[in-house]
Amino acid sequence: MRAGITQVLDRYRRAFLLFTPGQKVVAIVGTAALLLAAFMVFRWAAAPSYAPLYSNLSSEDASAVVDQLDADGIPYEIGGGGGTISVPRDQVYSTRISLSGEGIPSASGDSGYGLLDEQDISTSQFKEQTDFKRAMEGELAATIEAIDGVDTAVVHLALPPKQVFLEEQDPATASVLVDTGGNQLGPDQVQAIVNLVASSIDGLEPAKVTVADATGRVLSDNGDSASGLSSSRNRQVQDYQDQLGSKAQQMLDQIFGPGHSSVQVTAVLDFDKKTTETTTYSRKKDAPTLSESVQSETYSGGATPGTTPGGVVGPDSQLETGAGGTGDGSYQNSSTVRENGVDKVVEQSETAPGTVSSLHAAVVIDTASKQAVDAAQINDLVASAIGLDTERGDTIETSSIPFDTSVADANAAALAAAKSAEAAATRNTWIRNGVLAGGVLLLVGLAWRRSRKNAQAREDATSYVVEQLRQEQASRALQAAEAPTSLALPAFVEPVDGMRDELVALVERQPDEVASLLRGWLVERPS
């Protein structure tokens, strides 16, 4: 086994010695590059997968964690501006437990509800309230950072103390500063942050939460801010207009083709909140009687002496005398009060803000379109698509004018030029790589051919030398045989195989001397 390995190494060594200086350099550089690539691949495959051990550490806690990891011999990586330390994924929990046993990280770097763990019976009320506020701020910040697009969040709460003997309590407020890393949060995400903070604090209204980004731009639209309310309404109007315009534009693109039509929709929305109450009474003929009251009064008696019956009651409550009048003084009266069932309907309707007051649409068709333009038909189609109501005051106008396509043509030409340049660059890259690969293959082929020629020349030279030596040995043996017996010496014939190996080694060590020797033999060769 050892002899075989030695022979293989000797063969490679002899082949390397036959290379020219340029070939030797190429072989050495190629071998070094191959070994380096193999080392990098092995290192990449053997590198462990790291996972965060702690995040958002203070500088003191990060230093303590790093020192302990160095002492334990655990590999680690530092990121997040020095506040995030990662270790191999399979050692996260064991390392965390080990560090916790050492009291690392310290409680001074805790955030969230961990601040409340150090409180005891001797804690003052002020410190208790301050720790609670800090704990809530830390928990809310960690929760907001879980939202996609938010890298870092800082929450500040203003929680006024509750007053027992005051009718009006000062409202709680909150401010949130988010770092999005250059990204922009959507309105839904901002509203989610506002609702999240408002729902976590007792007595905090969403209108009292302010959200701002790292550039100082206010993202939230507070209800008590006129500018924020106006911005929210404008966004709603724009979204509604874009929705209707997109529907109409898709239909027109199917008819006239893309780029041959344009539609714009203007919506007037009513954001006033209205509440209407309507009471309606109706009576049916067969309505049942709910209640009935009957009252009857009767009086009977004779005429007063000295008076004439039938007189008229005067202002002095006395009967005025009338000539020839008679009467008996009787009186009778009756009344009936009846309550019948009546239908009563009370309706309360509340109009939500954002109802459509009117819609106005404008449609423009390119005269270069291949389809015929019928304004009345286009009006009907667009009106049906976006829900126009002429009785409400909605309007629509359709016009056919030539479109200016210079910008589109320039953009198309620039895009075509960019694609052509990219294709040319790709083609040139392939050509360059092909030429380089062909050159490398050519050099390798030439080197291989030259090495074959050198090997053949070496074999021929070795064979010639061996043959000359064999003939010399034969002639020497013949001379020894013809010499007198007393002067005859024992013939010694060196093994040819061992001689061949020695000659090969000699040719490899001293090629110039061997070449000179061969040239001398060829010159002195007998005819």
Of 494 and 231, the structure prediction assigns the larger pLDDT to: 231
Domain ranges of the chain: 1-46, 50-102, 127-224, 245-273+349-403, 416-460
pLDDT recorded at residue 394 = 92
Rounded Cα distance, 306 and 313, in Å: 15
The answer to whether the beta carbons of residues 147 and 193 sit under 8 Å apart is: yes
Rounded Cα distance, 348 and 287, in Å: 26
Q: How far is CA 285 from the centre of its chain?
A: 71
Side-chain-side CA neighbours of 242 within 13 Å: the count stands at: 6
Q: Kindly report the CATH number that applies to the domain delimited by 50-102.
A: 3.30.70
Name the token pair of 423.
Answer: 């294709």
Residue 404 contacts by C-beta under 8 Å, 6 or more apart in sequence?
A: none
Residues in the chain: 527
- The residues with which 266 forms a beta bridge, in sequence order, are 360
The answer to whether the beta carbons of residues 136 and 156 sit under 8 Å apart is: no
Q: What is the pTM of this model?
A: 0.41
Rounded Cα distance, 325 and 327, in Å: 7
Q: To which residue do tokens 């609670």 refer?
A: 132
Name the token pair of 6.
Answer: 């030695």
Distances (CA, A) of 203 to 31, 144, 163, 208, 225: 73, 20, 14, 10, 20
As a whole number, mean pLDDT of residues 42-65 equals 79
Architecture label for domain 127-224: 2-Layer Sandwich (3.30)
Residue 50 contacts by C-beta under 8 Å, 6 or more apart in sequence?
A: 76, 77, 86, 87, 88, 89
Return the exposure string of 435-455: e unless at least 16 CB atoms fall within 10 Å of the residue's CB, then b: eeeeeeeeeeeebeeebeeee
Rounded Cα distance, 244 and 359, in Å: 10
Reported confidence tier of residue 321, pLDDT bands at 50, 70, 90: very low
pLDDT recorded at residue 132 = 82
pLDDT in tens, 303-320: 555 444 555 555 554 444
pLDDT recorded at residue 228 = 54
Nearest to 47 by CA among 81, 77, 83: 77
**Neighbour tally for 174: CB within 10 Å:** 24
Highest mean pLDDT among 108-112, 191-195, 327-331, 519-523 belongs to 191-195
Reported confidence tier of residue 527, pLDDT bands at 50, 70, 90: very low
The answer to whether the beta carbons of residues 326 and 308 sit under 8 Å apart is: yes
Q: 245-273+349-403: same fold as 127-224?
A: yes
Name the token pair of 135.
Answer: 């704990």
pLDDT in tens, 449-508: 877 776 676 666 666 666 766 676 677 677 777 655 444 444 444 455 555 666 666 666
In the predicted model, is pLDDT for residue 361 greater than 90?
Answer: yes
pLDDT in tens, 266-303: 999 888 878 888 888 777 667 777 788 888 888 776 55
Relative to beta strand 50-54, strand 152-158 is unpaired
Reported confidence tier of residue 396, pLDDT bands at 50, 70, 90: very high
Nearest to 340 by CA among 282, 414, 260, 296: 282
Assign 115 to helix, strand or coil.
helix
Rounded Cα distance, 386 and 161, in Å: 54
As a whole number, mean pLDDT of residues 233-260 equals 89
Name the token pair of 141.
Answer: 């910040």
Side-chain-side CA neighbours of 104 within 13 Å: the count stands at: 19
Rounded Cα distance, 272 and 352, in Å: 8
Rounded Cα distance, 20 and 27, in Å: 10
Q: Of the ranges 41-50, 133-142, 478-487, which one carries the lowest mean pLDDT score?
A: 478-487
Phi, psi torsion values for 121, nearest 5 degrees = -70, -20
In the predicted model, is pLDDT for residue 338 greater than 60?
Answer: yes
Range 245-273+349-403 classified under CATH 2.60.40: no
The answer to whether the beta carbons of residues 377 and 342 sit under 8 Å apart is: no
DSSP structural state of residue 135:
H
pLDDT recorded at residue 244 = 92
pLDDT recorded at residue 215 = 86
Phi, psi torsion values for 138, nearest 5 degrees = -65, -45
Name the token pair of 44.
Answer: 């990449």
